A and B are shown apart, each in its own frame.
Chain A
Amino acid sequence: MAGIRLHHPTLYSCTLVVELEQEYPEPYDCPSCSKIHNRKAVHLRLDADGDVIVSSPVYESLKIVFFAGLEIMNEVEKPPVMTVGAVERPNIHVVEYSLNGQNGEFNRPGLTKYESRDILHKTIKEQLRSTESDG
């Protein structure tokens, strides 16, 4: 499995910063959002459609935060090339989700927290299968 496309129903053209449980050994001074992260914070760059493609390990790590309100769309055989270094700096609008999810941001819009939780018990394949059957 190369990549998994996730979609946010309301956010797009921004970097969704999702805090995870794991702490950095030393606080991380993030050049992307100009902030110190004490916990691992996954930076998800949502495109104009609200989509982002992630690797399987990232997908697994997002389970702890109920996928931060993201929907699982489909498997992507060959994700687009990503670049690092001497490239144009993207215009980054950062939206942060803290670990406690106190504002209910981990629940997908339209789903109860229980439905969001139940998604975590499905494997990627099961999840993708149910997404396909819905569509």
Chain B
Amino acid sequence: MADFLYDVYRGNIMGKDTHSFVDVEDDTLGVFFVDEADDTPNQTTDEDAADRAAAAQVPSFASAPNLTGVTVTLASNRSVLDATDLTFSALSGDQVESFDLFKDTGTDTTSVLILNMDTATGLPLTPSGGDVVIVWNVSGIFRI
């Protein structure tokens, strides 16, 4: 149990070209929750949204909401990604244990997985059919 950046994204930052470069500030970023009883996120082997079993995606890749208000700031030798809090409208499905952030190209095989977070307060989450809001930390979503 730990939050992590996917290895494929770490390589992507350094120019490894398994997938197209992820420009977190200008590319579209999406998030879906993960039902880990259907698929356990793997930091090493999972590379893109197609590696996440369809049954584990809550909501599905096609319905995953996109981040808005994305910013990248440099401070104290750190690069910090932040965004507006993200709302999932009328989220339905099984209980979820974590969520994936990914570059959303519209095609799951080219949508690089960026990070998986499973320690956020409120997880595991049992959907009620109502809206779910991910409130990002004041210090950003992640920093490098």
Q: Answer yes or no: are A and B bound together in one complex.
A: yes
Chain A residues packing against B (C-beta within 8 Å): 1-4, 22-26, 28-32, 40, 42-45, 52-58, 61, 76, 78-89
Main secondary structure of the interface of A (DSSP, over half): strand
Pick from B39, B40, B130, B135: contact of A79, CB below 8 A. B130
Total chain B interface residues with beta-carbon distance under 8 A: 35
Can you list, as one digit per residue, whether each of B17-61 has a CB less than 8 Å from chain A (1) or not (0)?
Answer: 000000000000000000011011000000000000000000000
Q: Tell me the complex Cα distance, A30–B119, Å.
A: 9
Query: Is the CB–CB distance between A84 and B123 below 8 Å?
Result: yes
Query: Is the CB–CB distance between A40 and B122 below 8 Å?
Result: no
Pick from A40, A44, A58, A84: contact of B132, CB below 8 A. A84
Given contacts A3-B129, A31-B1, A84-B133, contact A55 B92 (CB under 8 A): yes
Query: Is the CB–CB distance between B126 and A45 below 8 Å?
Result: yes
CB under 8 Å from chain A, chain B span 104-144 = 118-138
Q: Tell me the complex Cα distance, A25–B130, Å.
A: 28
Q: Tell me the complex Cα distance, A126–B93, Å.
A: 21
Q: Would you call B13 an interface residue if the criterion is a C-beta within 8 Å of the partner chain's C-beta atoms?
A: no
Q: Which residue of A lies closest to B141 (CB)?
A: A85
Query: Cβ of B130: which chain A residues have Cβ within 8 Å of it?
Result: 2-3, 53, 76, 78-82
Query: Cβ of B128: which chain A residues have Cβ within 8 Å of it?
Result: 3, 52-55, 76, 79-80, 82
Given contacts A2-B90, A81-B130, A81-B133, contact A30 B124 (CB under 8 A): yes
Q: Would you call B7 an interface residue if the criterion is a C-beta within 8 Å of the partner chain's C-beta atoms?
A: no
Q: Tell me the complex Cα distance, A125–B83, Å.
A: 41
Query: Cβ of A22: which chain B residues have Cβ within 8 Å of it?
Result: 37
Query: Cβ of B95: which chain A residues have Cβ within 8 Å of it?
Result: 40, 42-43, 58
Pick from A29, A53, A58, A89: contact of B121, CB below 8 A. A89
Q: Which residue of B lies closest to A39 (CB)?
A: B37
Query: Cβ of A30: which chain B residues have Cβ within 8 Å of it?
Result: 1, 124
Query: Cβ of B131: which chain A residues have Cβ within 8 Å of it?
Result: 81-82
Can you list 13 A-B contacts with CB-CB less than 8 angstroms, sorted by A residue number?
Answer: A2-B90, A2-B129, A40-B95, A52-B128, A53-B129, A56-B92, A58-B95, A76-B129, A82-B125, A83-B132, A84-B122, A84-B132, A86-B138
| Min C-beta distance of A8 to chain B, whole Å | 14
Q: Which residue of A lies closest to B129 (CB)?
A: A3
Q: Would you call B97 an interface residue if the criterion is a C-beta within 8 Å of the partner chain's C-beta atoms?
A: yes
